[in-house]
Chains A and B, each alone.
Chain A
Amino acid sequence: MDWLSIINAGINGTVLGLLLALPALAVTLVFGIARFPNVATGDYMTLGAYVAVAAQTFGGLSLAASGLFASLTVGVVSLFFYFWVFRALAKRPLVSRLIASIGVAFAVRSTITFFAGHHQYNIEAPLVRAWNFNGIRILPTDAYIAVTAIVALTLVFMLMRFTPMGRRMRAVADNPELASASGINARRVMVLLWAIVGIFCGLGGFLLGVKAVVIPELGFELLLTIFAAVILGGIGTPIGAVVGILVFGISQEIGSLYVGPAYKIVMAFLVLLCVLLLRPQGIFGRIQAAR
């Protein structure tokens, strides 16, 4: 296999990984703070893509504006489901929140298909030729997607690391009882969490819609990949989620060069298996004592 194909596959995997890092981060944050695997993540992404299509079709918004609008709308929807569903189940066992999130996923997707039907839509974006550096091809769309994802990820990491609100989030994630005993308002942390989750899923769905096509199964189909990547990186660690999905994306694309496209997903899970054999807690995960 020549090195050009490997580099091109690597670039492709990186772009895919950066894009999916947005929902992966949302999954890991919910798992770390609200403590359940949020199955609705995929369908929040789908919603983002459809909102962007609607904003372009009915509102005549530009590409960037429709992306912003989609992110914010999904943020609001995410808050709505927090207040309506997940807040009431906060003290219940993990399974009840997990099942509820499956319900939310179905509700979101069925609402979309009720209004938009099952056929495909497209987010209008200009089709431009790739930049060609001696055979290394970079698609401009991919470059914009990667930059947008990096900016969004950086913002959230700065928020988590350098602001008082971020410190509170980490405190709640670490130990909710201790956090509330030391006067941290857990409600406010939750509102911020679900807003970030919605915005990130909306943005991820929008970028995905620009790259691929907008269909009702858009986000849901990626859920397995995202969950696997989160486990790979170490559940509940934000940086782990990003690294995990990048490893996953790159190994999937480069692997497909060697074993054929039919086995690319198998390759990605093989990498997952190998990493977990060496580090069962994930790349960045900490071993926690069970309470």
Chain B
Amino acid sequence: MSQTINTGRRQFTLASAAAGVASVLPFWARAQAGTPKGEPIKIGVLTSMTGTGGVYGPGMLQAMRLAVDEVNAAGGASGRALQLFNEDDQTRPDAAVLAARKLVDISKVDVIAGVWSSSVALAILPITNGAGIMMLNTSGSPDLKTEDKLDLVWQYQAANDVFGKAFAQIARQRGFKNPAVMAFNNSTFVGQANYFRKAWEEGGGKVAAYVIYEPNQTTYRTELGRVLASKPDVIALSSYTPDATIILKEWYQNGQPCKFIMPGWSANENLIKALGTEATEGIIAVSNVAATDHPTFKHFDTAFRKLTGREPDVFAAECYDMIISYALAVEAAGPNADLKTINTKMRTVTNAPGTKVTGFSQGRDLLRKGEKIDYDGASSTLEFGAAGDAVPDFGVFEILGGKLVAKEVISGTI
């Protein structure tokens, strides 16, 4: 029921859209001047500039601009310049559908990239599939894998089934014996919880308690009581930050010792700020992390810092990879290729076997020589599976003294 018209947000969206167009103009103008020939490739960027994803959206857009800039400076993909069209999805499926319609019907984009939230990705899937265009996202709903009937969806972030498996592996590695599961009732988190249970039981052992709770409650004491009654040594807590805050507050007051494993996008600075250092001590947070040891990441990291003055997060790295891998697929498909041919080239340019490449111009030169390439990205090695999903590595963090401290890294190929 939050169908309100928020002038501030509208103006912000307009301003950011204008900024997006303005930043693209120079390259486009350059394209007219001569270097890349042919009709420009229109890339629709549907990022979350406001709402929950607003923390990540601006960085994701910057990373895509950076990549577009590099491709255009190298003469474009198959001689065609890349052109960005930016819309804000407000991290809301209803706003996203309108924005996606605009990108598809009015701007007539060839691809939609930078989709952050699962609910947005699922909502716009009928639009992108209907238009026969690709959708490049960083979303994590396992449903995207099964709903992607045309193989047009490319996921650069681990889906939550893999997250669930990673949770189980981490719990086992740390010697926990009696885990319990608590999850927010939506497709993402229930998926995560189910796969945790599945992975744990496959490795031998049982899950002490399994509780799916309703959103938007004031108290979760009874639900938590159910879980704690099974005396777990660790709880895999699949929650957003607000409900996690309530649950952890009630857990701490309750006083029963127990550890927590949570997704990194919930166990963040906001959670620490809300609960203080004592109640958050020892919480294990698991996030996808960029491939910091890849040369591609090092190059991207330097360029991103120069452009923005900030450190890139994993979503920004994933967005950089979206543009580079797409541009390589366009290059591999040839100048007059249709969208379908470009789509089939995505795995060709990113998956092994092939000569490893770390940037657009290097990959293009090899492609022109007729060689097979394997782009290793800034976010992961980009090995797309049957469902079009790449899995970056998992970073395991612990909250110690109110700070997120990086511990081990777990390979994404679990």
B279 within 8 A of A: yes
Residues of A within 8 A of B408 (CB): none
Residues of A within 8 A of B130 (CB): none
A141 within 8 A of B: yes
Please encode chain B, from 242 to 255, with 1 for each CB lying within 8 Å of some chain A CB and 0 for all others.
Answer: 10011001101111
Decide if A110 touches B6 in the complex (CB within 8 Å).
yes
Decide if B222 touches A9 in the complex (CB within 8 Å).
yes
Please encode chain B, from 50 to 63, with 1 for each CB lying within 8 Å of some chain A CB and 0 for all others.
Answer: 11101000000000
Decide if A127 touches B252 in the complex (CB within 8 Å).
yes
A281 within 8 A of B: no
Decide if A130 touches B255 in the complex (CB within 8 Å).
yes
Q: B218 touches which one: A128, A222, A260 (CB < 8 A)?
A: A222
B107 within 8 A of A: no
A122 to B211, CA, bound (A): 26
A257 to B319, CA, bound (A): 45
Provided the pairs A8-B221, A113-B6, A217-B2 are in contact, do residues A119 and B214 lie with their beta carbons within 8 angstroms? no
Provided the pairs A261-B211, A262-B214 are in contact, do residues A216 and B222 lie with their beta carbons within 8 angstroms? no
Q: B225 touches which one: A5, A120, A213 (CB < 8 A)?
A: A5
Decide if B242 touches A215 in the complex (CB within 8 Å).
yes
Q: B242 touches which one: A5, A8, A106, A120 (CB < 8 A)?
A: A120
Decide if A212 touches B218 in the complex (CB within 8 Å).
yes
A-B contact pairs, 24 of them (CB 8 A): A9-B221, A12-B222, A16-B218, A16-B219, A110-B5, A113-B4, A118-B50, A118-B54, A119-B270, A120-B241, A120-B270, A127-B275, A127-B278, A128-B253, A130-B254, A137-B254, A140-B253, A213-B242, A213-B246, A213-B274, A261-B211, A262-B185, A262-B212, A262-B214
A256 to B6, CA, bound (A): 38
Residues of A within 8 A of B245 (CB): 120, 122, 212-213
Residues of B within 8 A of A222 (CB): 218
A19 to B221, CA, bound (A): 15
Q: Closest CB of chain B to A217's CB: distance in Å?
A: 7
B353 within 8 A of A: no
Decide if A256 touches B242 in the complex (CB within 8 Å).
no
User: A-side interface residues toward B, CB under 8 Å?
Assistant: 5, 8-9, 12, 15-16, 19, 106, 109-110, 113-114, 118-120, 122, 127-130, 132, 137, 139-141, 208, 211-213, 215-217, 220-222, 253, 256-257, 260-262, 264-265
A256 to B224, CA, bound (A): 11
CB nearest to A225 among chain B residues = B218
Please encode chain B, from 1 to 17, with 1 for each CB lying within 8 Å of some chain A CB and 0 for all others.
Answer: 11011111000000000
Q: Closest CB of chain A to B11's CB: distance in Å?
A: 11
Q: B219 touches which one: A12, A127, A217 (CB < 8 A)?
A: A12
A257 to B226, CA, bound (A): 8
Decide if A211 touches B2 in the complex (CB within 8 Å).
no
Decide if B249 touches A127 in the complex (CB within 8 Å).
yes
CB nearest to A207 among chain B residues = B218
Could you list 9 further interchain pairs (A-B, Cβ under 8 angstroms) beyond the known A16-B218, A212-B218? Answer: A114-B8, A119-B52, A129-B254, A211-B246, A213-B274, A257-B226, A261-B212, A261-B223, A262-B185
Decide if B218 touches A211 in the complex (CB within 8 Å).
yes
B336 within 8 A of A: no
B146 within 8 A of A: no
Q: Closest CB of chain A to B399's CB: distance in Å?
A: 15
A260 to B185, CA, bound (A): 12
A281 to B248, CA, bound (A): 41
Decide if B279 touches A127 in the complex (CB within 8 Å).
yes
Decide if B246 touches A212 in the complex (CB within 8 Å).
yes
A113 to B6, CA, bound (A): 9
Residues of A within 8 A of B246 (CB): 211-213
Residues of B within 8 A of A106 (CB): 4
Decide if B52 touches A118 in the complex (CB within 8 Å).
yes
Decide if B253 touches A109 in the complex (CB within 8 Å).
no
Q: Closest CB of chain A to B281's CB: distance in Å?
A: 12
Provided the pairs A114-B8, A120-B274, A261-B222 are in contact, do residues A130 and B212 lie with their beta carbons within 8 angstroms? no
